[in-house]
Structure 1
């Protein structure tokens, strides 16, 4: 192989791998109270909000036909644990099983109200964990 062909092949490989390193636009963003507090500001554009939080679950309008975006996320986590013991005597056998389960649920609701120019005029959020 010639040096020129090796360089071209190497550069194409770099371009291919560089393309793989870009972020996926379809990726779901992790919404947290910290993200809302640090990213969302009064006067921010709708495009800026979408970049920071992703697409809202609900888009509606208020009584003056101004857009309102609602992000409503719920996550559940359940952990099951079990233990068992088995003992045997020449003829008799015994078995014992016990287990427990814990579950947690988190909800995050974010409401963002825009003005006529699609700039943030107000926002509120609520986070619960139980």
Structure 2
């Protein structure tokens, strides 16, 4: 009796995606949603700082009213990785007893490719305070490219 073993492995695909943060320093997240939800006319400067943190720029007009500017820039890196591989193998056996013939043939192939996507986002917030240091008005502008 002859025993024959035949094995064939076909394509395998493995996709792995990861998002990398551009900064290793933890920072309070500042988003458009936080500004829209939390900042209200009449808020004190202390309340604004507790929500948004310290401003990047502070100016004062001729009447002593302050304007605060928050200008945030973020770079996001997104990397996709795709691996493809093909493997084959063949094994053979002989007659048990007096004669035993063994053979093995194998092969393999693997290919990786990936894609890196870089996105820039900016958020500018301008808050104007009245003479009593309360929010008089605020505006914002967000971009993504």
The CA RMSD measured in Å over matched residues stands at 2.6
Highest RCO, 1 vs 2 (Cα 8 Å, sep ≥ 6): 2
Q: Any stretches of 5+ residues in structure 1 without a counterpart? A: 1-26, 88-93
| 2:123 corresponding residue in structure 1 | 108
1:68-104 alpha-carbon deviations (Å, 9 max, x no partner): 11111111012234556789xxxxxx99664322111
Secondary structure, counterpart of 1:47 in structure 2: helix
Q: 2: distance between equivalents of 1:117 and 1:53?
A: 20
Q: TM-score under structure 2 normalisation?
A: 0.57
Which structure: greater strand fraction? 2
Return the structure number with greater helix share: 1
The aligned residue for residue 13 of structure 1 is none
TM-score of the pair, normalised by structure 1: 0.63
Distance, in Å, in 2 between the alignment partners of 1:86 and 1:30 is: 41
| Residue pair 1:28, 1:54 contacting (<8 A) in 2 also | no
Structure 2 residue ranges without an equivalent (≥5): 1-25, 87-108
Number of residue pairs matched by the alignment: 101
Q: Distance in 2 between matches of 1:64 and 1:115?
A: 9
